[in-house]
Amino acid sequence: MKILVGIKRVVDFNVRVRVKPDGSGVDLDGAKMSINPFDEIALEEALRLREAGKATEVIVVSIGTTACQQQLRTGLAMGADRAIQVDTEEKLQPLAAARTFLALVEKEQPGLVILGKQAIDDDNSQTGQMLAALWDRPQATFASEVVVDDQVARVTREVDAGLETIEIDLPAVITSDLRLNEPRFVKLPDIMKAKRKPLEVIPLTDLAIANDNKLTIDHYAPPATREKGIMVDSAEALVAELKNRGLL
């Protein structure tokens, strides 16, 4: 069984992002870029499944410019067998990303697609669900435990009420939550090995994806800064102050 893992190049979670002064976007000048942490967890899970003999090949996929080859190489150094970069200058929204994955699914015929539950740049949490719908296969989102048994996966999901365990037929889409696993560190010699692993570049245009973005972004703005509070001496003063401001 092949496993396809999506990894997105995003601004590192440690970086303090700020909106550009002209409101045209987020300033990423000199910012550290990394694999989206949820995608790193997705890849770790795929590698563990392969190491447990449940899968034979792990393919990492990223959609973007040649810059995301850096993240694909990291994925290969972690242990993926090969990588595919879908080359585009465009910033794809979730539906177009899901269509792109579908095109690759049709080409590669994986038994399982594992994606991060969301990317930490846009926080959409849509691509996995859309891919499952387009592919017309089961989905298990927000996974915190995955057990693969022949043609079935038993997945524990993190839901609002607690944990929910479901069984799905493969092929299927799984999206990873934070507690699924702790990704491994990359061993230095593996970085060298990763340089020799295959990395295929497919122009997005070759996949004939309809990229009709449904959303247009008008402008970006930082959240309003909180105004400085005042200290009051007593409960009476607090009530008076609240009344004064028409809040009581």
Would you say 21 or 53 has its CB closer to another protein? 21
CA distance 5 to 116: 9
CA distance 68 to 47: 20
Residues that bind another protein (CB under 8 A): 12, 14-16, 18, 21, 29-32, 182-185, 187-189, 191-192
Of the chain, the end-to-end C-alpha distance in Å amounts to 64
Q: Decide: helix, strand or coil at residue 104.
A: helix
* Shortest CB 117 distance to another protein, Å: 21
Would you say 74 or 93 has its CB closer to another protein? 74
Which of 232, 82, 184, 3 lies closest to 245, judged by CA?
232
* Shortest CB 180 distance to another protein, Å: 13
Would you say 75 or 110 has its CB closer to another protein? 75
Would you say 192 or 242 has its CB closer to another protein? 192
> Running DSSP on this structure, what letter comes out for residue 23?
S
Query: 29: buried, middle or exposed (CB in 10 Å: 19+, 13-18, 0-12)?
Result: exposed
* Shortest CB 57 distance to another protein, Å: 24
* Shortest CB 15 distance to another protein, Å: 6
Supply φ then ψ for residue 83, to 5 degrees: -135, 150
Peptide bond preceding 183: is omega within 30 degrees of 0, i.e. cis? no
CB atoms within 10 A of CB 235: 8
* Shortest CB 159 distance to another protein, Å: 26
Would you say 14 or 216 has its CB closer to another protein? 14
